């Protein structure tokens, strides 16, 4: 057994999460469904390449006025 192990200790956060999951068994499925809506997407590599190609190069000094129509 490790000297750092605390077999009978459960943090308040862990207890809260376990209680929440026990009270609402559908929670994990709802989380996965929400993640699928926003994050789990297949990327269209040609569309991503077009997006990157369309990017405008940033000037070395962002606040510089060279090239601005009103610059002297």
Are 65 and 71 within 8 A, CB to CB? yes
pLDDT at 21: 95
The rounded distance, in Å, linking the Cα atoms of 27 and 31 is 6
Residue 47 in domain: yes
The rounded distance, in Å, linking the Cα atoms of 3 and 44 is 50
Residue 4 in domain: no
Residue 7 in domain: no
Residue 19 in domain: yes
Domain count, the chain: 1
End-to-end alpha-carbon separation of the chain, Å? Answer: 75
The rounded distance, in Å, linking the Cα atoms of 14 and 6 is 14
* pLDDT tens digits, one per residue of 33-61: 999 888 888 889 999 999 999 988 877 77
* pLDDT tens digits, one per residue of 13-28: 999 999 999 999 999 9
pTM here is: 0.46
Residue 71 in domain: no
Residue 39 in domain: yes
pLDDT at 70: 66
Provide the token pair at 45: 């590599």
Structural domain for 23, as ranges:
12-53
Q: Looking at per-residue confidence, does 65 or 13 come out higher?
A: 13
């Amino acid at each position: 057994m490790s000297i750092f192990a605390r077999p009978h200790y459960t943090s308040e956060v862990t207890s809260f999460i376990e209680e929440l999951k026990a009270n609402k068994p559908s929670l994990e499925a709802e989380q996965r469904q929400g993640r699928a809506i926003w994050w789990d997407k297949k990327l269209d590599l040609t569309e991503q390449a077009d997006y990157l190609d369309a990017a405008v190069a940033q000037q070395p000094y962002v606040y510089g006025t060279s090239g601005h129509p009103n610059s002297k």
